[in-house]
Structure 1
Amino acid sequence: MNNGILAGCRVYVVEDNYLLAMSVSDFLESAGAQVLGITGKLAEAQRYVSEHDGDIDAVVLDVNLRSETSYPLADQLVASNIPFLFTTGYDAASIDARFRDHPVCCKPFVPSALREMVSAICTRH
């Protein structure tokens, strides 16, 4: 059993850059998290959250997913009471005002900072 900072935390990663998504997954798993899945597609993420909302403790959510924003998924997560943090290559001030109370991890990020932010929102430790 892994006793890392994220031990027991089940995280879903929504990131359209495959290599970055794999790196995020590795960062989180090295801290003890269980990564439930990775996707870079909004519709796929929305479907997954609808079908597994009771299994998700936290979501790492890229603001921009190819040609669309992830705000519809953020709305869904808020409605389902699933904690999430945004990742973005832009300034945190660019986040839609509705979501300014959610943490933002700006890219490129330091793995330890991402792990700490996920730990802060994860509903299971």
Structure 2
Amino acid sequence: MSTATHRSIFIVEDEFMLVMLLEDLLPAIGYTVAGTAGSVEAALEQLETLDVDLAVVDVNLAGTESFPVADALRARGVPFVFTTGYGQEGLPARYAGTPVLAKPFRRHDLEAALSRLQPAR
């Protein structure tokens, strides 16, 4: 098991099957899922009250780039990993150092990406 025990994580993903997969995988590797959102608007709304240590953020939410969510997470000091099928090349320069989890991914890929993050607390 990961050393991540009891870290809360926010999932920002619009694909229902991936949300379900993450909701199963994350607790198995020591994380608590604090919430999920499938759109930029829903994610920003939840971030107003949600207390999280880390986040997993899909770059493309139903055709809308999730960078406003990433900016809000950064402003709060919450580390995050992007998920995308396009790799680091599709990210703006300001996110050059942000970990990217390439889709499709496996459990060990998720664990490796999250292990690169330092929790907000």
Q: Indicate yes or no: 2:105 matched with 1:70.
A: no
1:1-125 counterparts in 2 under 5 A?
Answer: 4-52=2-50, 55-123=51-119
Q: Which has the higher contact order (CA 8 A, sep 6+)?
A: 1
Using structure 2 for the length normalisation, give the TM-score.
Answer: 0.92
User: C-alpha offsets along residues 21-73 of structure 1, whole Å, 9 cap, x if unaligned?
Assistant: 11012111101110011121111101111212xx2100000000002100011
CA distance in 1, matches of 2:66, 2:11: 12
CA distance in 1, matches of 2:67, 2:8: 21
CA distance in 2, matches of 1:44, 1:11: 16
How many residues are aligned here? Answer: 121
Residue 112 of structure 1 and its aligned partner are, at CA, apart by 1.1
Aligned-residue sequence identity (percent) comes to 34
CA distance in 1, matches of 2:93, 2:56: 18
What CA RMSD, in Å, does the superposition of the two structures yield over aligned residues?
1.7
Gaps of 5+ in 2: none
